[in-house]
Structure 1
Amino acid sequence: MRFERVWWGALSLLAASPAWAADGYSVLGDWPVKATSESGIEAGLKGNLSYDVARFGGADGGAFADDDAWRRQELSAFVRKPGMFELALGYDFRNEVWLDNFVRISGAAGDLRIGQFKTPVGYEESAVSTTATTFMERALPVTAFYAGRRLGADWTYEKIPNWYLNAAVQAGGDLLGDNRGRTLGARAVFNPVKDENQVLHLGLSASNEKRDDDSLRLQVRPEAFLAARRLVDTGALNRVEGIARYGVEAIWQRGPLLLQSEYLRIGVDRDGVADYSADGYYLAASWVLTGEKRGYKSAAFGNLKPRRDWGAVELAARYSHIDLDDAGVALGGRQRDWTFGANWYLGQHFRLQFNYVWAEARRRGTGLDPQIAQLRAQIYF
């Protein structure tokens, strides 16, 4: 069984680590993936290799095929001098997409970035690294409404205490030549509480997109990458004049407890036909049994760094809901997912994730309710 192979592989890593440490190096410790010159210029690599295994069950599990495959094969390089400049180049070889590729200049007036980067609406996608997600996949509305990466320029300002401000102008699509059009977006985050023990994060975001092809389609699979079918789907919406996205995010971390929620809405203006709108939200909670807490920087929570040789353990639960029905326009369907997760952080660069997803979807009078058990083995640096 694939589950067993991944599990025993993780235990082998844990067992091998002390032997490696005897020679002055631990496979579960920090890795030398960055070099710093005498002038303070840093050059390094970032990577994320994730392999997934999924098993489908429940009354409708037979509508899906058990599978295993690479989820991501991301590799990025950077050169930077903190507080002055950064050059980044990244590619996902599994999904054959360019990642963040940009030049950033930093100064007293904030950070100016030019290149390809994420659009600002959808906290889990726009702000959280793929190596720091609590669950294996983002929540339903984030996946469905997120606009992806675009070429453009943005400005970020963090010099007002407890505030994070970001505004972007993106045009011309992305580096693959897709998603041509223009997007204006902004995100603002306020921290009424931020100290060593707790962080309260309150955020608003919005964007307006004009696509050159005047079309849009919203669809989403259950919160499992290896689920090939989309359970809710608007079909193609044509004669689209503009797409407005809105997001509200609220997150509270106190020690090892993290509570997170987000509401997203999309409105589609159409020429000569009825407009369309849809929305969704999620509520999530996680508890680190071993006591660690996530770092917080630039209005986003990062990954855990275990304090013990054998790692850190985290339990999590999430409820997601999305509504793609708009009477008289599109009956895309409604879906809700319950996801329960457990994460084992083996040192600073290895993680095992287990998620159990119970999905319920209804579209045009029919429905599917698959249950999914999935496991991910991840190496990140």
Structure 2
Amino acid sequence: MRIQILILASALAATGAHAADWRDFSLKTSAGALGEFSATANWAYDHNGFGHLGQGVDAAAFDDDSAWRRREVGVAFKRKDVYELTVQRDLEAETWMDVSVKLISKGLFGRDLGALRVGQFKTPVGFDAVGASRNTPFLESALPAQATYAGRRLGVEWSLQRPAYLASVAWFNGNDLEGGNAGSTLAGRAAWVPRNAKGDVLHLGLTASRERPDSESLRLRARPEVGLTGVRLVDTGTLAGVDTVQRTGLEGLWIRGPWSVQGELLQVHADRAAGLQDVSGNGGYVFGSWVVTGESRGYNGYAGNVVPSATSALELLVRYSRLDLDDGAVRGGRQSDWTLGANWYLGRNFKVQANYVFAHARRGGTLRDPEAFGLRAQVQF
């Protein structure tokens, strides 16, 4: 019932904001020469169901559930090519998201030397995890993206984007706004984009980071690509004595009309002190997408949602992902998933997603191969 109320309220807001076209609404107002003020939101309500639990799984551990997955709200104040102020919070997770100021050299100095961002934002390793949550093609990030993603931190970043390439370097120091992720991290991202037009994209990128965690600990794990469960089929447990953590990724995206292919190879390596064994985890994923109604996936450094050319658009997807967290005496397990997906876009603001996940995990001597169904209703502006 709550999701119907949310959608109805959003539709009414849309009518007041842009009555001319309910399929594309936003809440914006002009501040004259100072720029533009806008309110943003991304609310997603999920249902997860589990079946064919197979061997080695406690059935009670996988409870069917329906709940809010995200209730993100935010405000932004920007002046084109000069500055952007962003404040976002997830009311469901009770955490701050991006809280930052971006200064754009083109508007400030008359020459495009890139942009400087200060505040809290995502660390860049993980093409699948670092893009905006409203644009996720599947309900959850792929297994290796979950395990390697370092979250948001307080820091400073310089970035430069050109039609044929992009680059960024960031330094994070301290912690996040919740008091977690304490330590320092140096990170960078670079990509070559030899084809960059609407419906015709080729993106090849490299990301890397080096972290010194104050906690001197690390835990690598992943959910089975649905979000309303606390079960992790692969999990290293807490690794103590960690001096540094290196994360690296190779990312690729190809879009050609209604077809697209995206993939990553990701690795995380923990250097440990006091004679403790160093630990590595690695994995990858690849997925294909076909927009049945003929539109293309969006792109602006990261892949975006499909924008219907008429009232709605339908996208079909299939993904394979794998994650290996076994390394010497650390037996975190190995898992591979196949996921079938369908996305229905109603204008720019509404999206319905359905996923069916076939998981296969082995940890120690135990095999677990549950299947999971996920359904999401999402409204965003």
TM-score, scaled to structure 2:
0.91
Cα distance in 2, alignment partners of residues 320 and 144 from structure 1: 12
Question: Is contact 2:199–2:297 with CA below 8 Å preserved after alignment?
Answer: no
Cα distance in 1, alignment partners of residues 21 and 369 from structure 2: 41
Question: Which residue is equivalent to 2:118?
Answer: 114
Counterpart of 2:53 in structure 1: which amino acid?
A
Question: Which residue is equivalent to 1:30?
Answer: 24
Q: Which moved more, 1:223-232 or 1:58-67?
A: 58-67
Cα distance in 2, alignment partners of residues 197 and 367 from structure 1: 42
Indicate which of 49, 64, 79 corresponds to 1:81. 79
Cα distance in 1, alignment partners of residues 34 and 314 from structure 2: 35
Structure 1 residue 228, shift from structure 2 partner? 2.3
Question: Which residue is equivalent to 2:208?
Answer: 206
Could you say which structure has the higher strand fraction? 2
For the pair 1:369 / 2:369, whether they are aligned, the reply is: yes
Residues matched between the structures, number: 364
Question: Which residue is equivalent to 1:354?
Answer: 354
For the pair 1:94 / 2:92, whether they are aligned, the reply is: yes
For the pair 1:275 / 2:278, whether they are aligned, the reply is: yes
Equivalent position SS for 1:273: coil
Cα distance in 1, alignment partners of residues 211 and 346 from structure 2: 41
Cα distance in 1, alignment partners of residues 339 and 229 from structure 2: 14
Q: C-alpha offsets along residues 192-237 of structure 1, whole Å, 9 cap, x if unaligned?
A: 2223341000000000000001011111110000122110110111
Structure 1 residue 35, shift from structure 2 partner? 1.8
Question: Is contact 2:126–2:266 with CA below 8 Å preserved after alignment?
Answer: yes
Structure 1 residue 109, shift from structure 2 partner? 1.9
Question: Which residue is equivalent to 2:289?
Answer: 286
Question: Which residue is equivalent to 1:55?
Answer: 49
Question: Which residue is equivalent to 1:143?
Answer: 146
Question: Which residue is equivalent to 2:254?
Answer: 252
Equivalent position SS for 2:230: coil
- 1:119/1:141 CA distance change after superposition, 3 Å: same
Counterpart of 1:120 in structure 2: which amino acid?
P
Cα distance in 2, alignment partners of residues 214 and 378 from structure 1: 38
Question: Which residue is equivalent to 1:264?
Answer: 266
Equivalent position SS for 1:234: strand
Cα distance in 1, alignment partners of residues 344 and 327 from structure 2: 41
Question: Is contact 1:28–1:348 with CA below 8 Å preserved after alignment?
Answer: no
Cα distance in 1, alignment partners of residues 195 and 83 from structure 2: 30
- Compute the RMSD of aligned alpha carbons: 2.1
Structure 1 residue 40, shift from structure 2 partner? 6.3
For the pair 1:326 / 2:330, whether they are aligned, the reply is: no
Question: Which residue is equivalent to 2:229?
Answer: 227
Question: Is contact 1:49–1:72 with CA below 8 Å preserved after alignment?
Answer: yes
Structure 1 residue 296, shift from structure 2 partner? 1.6
- 1:205/1:277 CA distance change after superposition, 3 Å: same
Cα distance in 2, alignment partners of residues 113 and 40 from structure 1: 19
For the pair 1:166 / 2:168, whether they are aligned, the reply is: yes
Question: Is contact 1:59–1:369 with CA below 8 Å preserved after alignment?
Answer: yes
Question: Which residue is equivalent to 2:109?
Answer: none
Cα distance in 1, alignment partners of residues 142 and 208 from structure 2: 18
Cα distance in 1, alignment partners of residues 249 and 197 from structure 2: 25
Cα distance in 2, alignment partners of residues 225 and 41 from structure 1: 38
Q: C-alpha offsets along residues 129-174 of structure 1, whole Å, 9 cap, x if unaligned?
A: 1111110101000011100000010000124x41100100001010
State, as a whole percentage, how many aligned pairs show the same letter.
Answer: 45
Q: C-alpha offsets along residues 300-343 of structure 1, whole Å, 9 cap, x if unaligned?
A: 1211111122x110000100100000013x10000011110011
Cα distance in 2, alignment partners of residues 59 and 104 from structure 1: 47
Q: Which runs of 5+ in 1 are unaligned?
A: none
Cα distance in 1, alignment partners of residues 319 and 118 from structure 2: 35
Question: Which residue is equivalent to 1:337?
Answer: 337
Indicate which of 230, 235, 238 corresponds to 1:236. 238
Question: Is contact 1:28–1:350 with CA below 8 Å preserved after alignment?
Answer: no
Structure 1 residue 55, shift from structure 2 partner? 1.1
Question: Is contact 2:70–2:91 with CA below 8 Å preserved after alignment?
Answer: yes
Q: Which moved more, 1:248-257 or 1:55-64?
A: 55-64
Cα distance in 2, alignment partners of residues 318 and 51 from structure 1: 22
Counterpart of 1:313 in structure 2: which amino acid?
L
Structure 1 residue 27, shift from structure 2 partner? 7.2
Question: Is contact 1:75–1:90 with CA below 8 Å preserved after alignment?
Answer: yes
Indicate which of 30, 33, 39 corresponds to 1:39. 33
Equivalent position SS for 2:147: helix
Question: Is contact 2:185–2:211 with CA below 8 Å preserved after alignment?
Answer: yes
For the pair 1:313 / 2:314, whether they are aligned, the reply is: yes
